[in-house]
Amino acid sequence: MAESRPTSQTQFANESTAASPSNSPAPEILLELVDDDGVTIGTAEKLSAHQQPGRLHRAFSVFLFDRQGRLLLQRRALSKYHSPGVWSNTCCGHPYPDEPPFVAAARRTAEELGAAPALLCEAGTVRYDLPDAASGLIEREWNHLFVGLITAPLDPDPEEVDDTRFVTAQELKDLEAQKPFSVWFRTVFEAALPGIREIAGRDW
């Protein structure tokens, strides 16, 4: 069962938080493992952490809106090994070990979409265990939620993003009824709703 933990802290994204780390290729991607209280206990390689039975690790999910209050969705690239070609929230991913989740969220949004958030606010955390039948992988995550605004033109990385779309609340419902979404989308969306409504209004 998902457990949402709201927080009132607000931060603003800027160029320094969105900056990428060194471009030197790493031999493997490490995730930060956590215990049931969200306390860091070690690291694990990314793919192994998502293979059954999975290992609880730190993640983040971002929900960005335009000035009209529409949510920016992305369709994940078909080349991705996990949940390819499905619609999901603006951006999601994993901090590097010891990287603050806020910094990771701003950085990864800029990397995937070619535009940094104009505003980024913490919106709590949610923990879940969600198997993905299509891939056989599992999402066992302690997920830090962020909501905010995006005003710059998008320039998505085709290795990460196949398509983007801004939607109203009703258009999101219609799209969910027609197209496949990531296994985690509805869980993180509902957990982030209080923060979403502060940013985008009560229509959400």
User: Catalytic amino acids?
Assistant: 92, 141
3-state secondary structure of 115: coil
- On whether the CB atoms of residues 74 and 163 are closer than 8 A, the answer is yes
d(CA 104, CA 96): 7
- On whether the CB atoms of residues 184 and 128 are closer than 8 A, the answer is yes
Residue reference for tokens 């991705």: 80
Phi-psi region of 59 (alpha: psi -120 to 50; beta: other; left: phi over 0): beta
Report which of 152, 151, 62 is spatially closest to residue 101, judged by C-alpha positions. Answer: 62
d(CA 42, CA 175): 38
